[in-house]
Amino acid sequence: MNTVSRLASVVCVGLGLVGASTEVAAERILIVHDEDTGVSRTYTPPIGVFTLSEVGEILRVTVGEQFGEVSASVLPGFWFMSFVAPPGERLSPGVYRNAGCLSPYRTGRAPSMEIADNPVCLDGDTVWGEFAIRQLDYDAAGAVRGVELTFTQRVGSASAPALTGELRIDTNPLSLTVDSPAAFAWGRIAQENHGDTSLFTLTGTTAGIDYTASVIKDLWSIAITPPPGMLLEAGRTYTTRNFADGRSAGLLILRGADVSQSCADASGLLKVRAIETATSGEVTGLHADFHYKCTLNGPPLRGTIRYHL
């Protein structure tokens, strides 16, 4: 049963939303924060040069500075990164804890990693780390062509200052974030869900979209429809009600596998920052913000959908 049908079978439901503007698709970006020095730095093209490859079981990434003029926000030199699944496995979306140095120093069933501007795994297993692969894309031949991940690495001991960061190479964002105060009808909510822990689906056209996010211990079902006679458009902000009418778009939000949380008479705003369709008309990408109130003067649930945009 789709989101609209499920909502119609629940007696009272209501909704609201909020908006924002257009956005880039695939990105190449590395953000690194050094807890020891307190310095955060960012690489992006055209100054940052990115390479991505699989060497045997190892996913290798290099990010470095291009010759010529360099932005002050870019870290000098090159970063070398290696990520390996536990023995006998291949990397896939998920969280990899207790990561140490690569072979020959790896022990047990631990994953491996090394992130450095200079090698840190020369004299034994000196790494205490964790990484989360949010997305991993392959081409038709099975070679890695894109990745999104986060990492935390400590060198020397489990209590050493951490090097943390985020990396995205040739993948589009895929996430659902939601936030509400304690006074909201469903209570305090603070979630940031990505592909390492969640499953996302989106079906429909610019005449109506069904979106679901199956996240840890939770499920979100959201239906979006434009006002009658209109199509969803990028850069447009819509007022919303449960169901589309002559003045408002429809925004239906259900929470829980048993549809246990919904609103009776909601209103709000929805902004479609970006939307992409295939030649068939099916929506293949969406970036939207919403602001959802269960009562006219009540506090809102705020959220952002990133589905390959």
Ranges of each domain in the chain: 3-23+172-307, 27-170
The pLDDT, as a whole number, for residue 7 is 39
Q: Cα angle vertex 148, ends 145, 149, to 5°?
A: 130
pLDDT tens over the chain, length 309 residues:
444 444 333 323 222 233 333 333 458 999 999 999 999 988 888 877 899 999 888 999 999 866 444 443 444 568 999 999 999 999 999 999 999 999 888 888 999 999 988 789 988 999 999 999 999 998 888 889 999 999 999 999 999 999 999 999 999 999 999 999 999 999 999 999 999 999 999 999 999 999 999 999 999 999 999 999 999 999 999 999 989 998 899 999 999 988 779 898 899 999 999 999 999 999 999 999 999 999 888 899 999 999 999
The pLDDT, as a whole number, for residue 224 is 98
CA distance linking residue 23 with residue 289, whole number of Å: 12
> CB–CB of 208/228 below 8 Å?
no
Q: Is the dihedral of CA 231, 302, 252, 287 positive or negative?
A: positive
Strand order in 48-55's β-sheet?
A: 48-55, 58-65, 78-84, 112-116
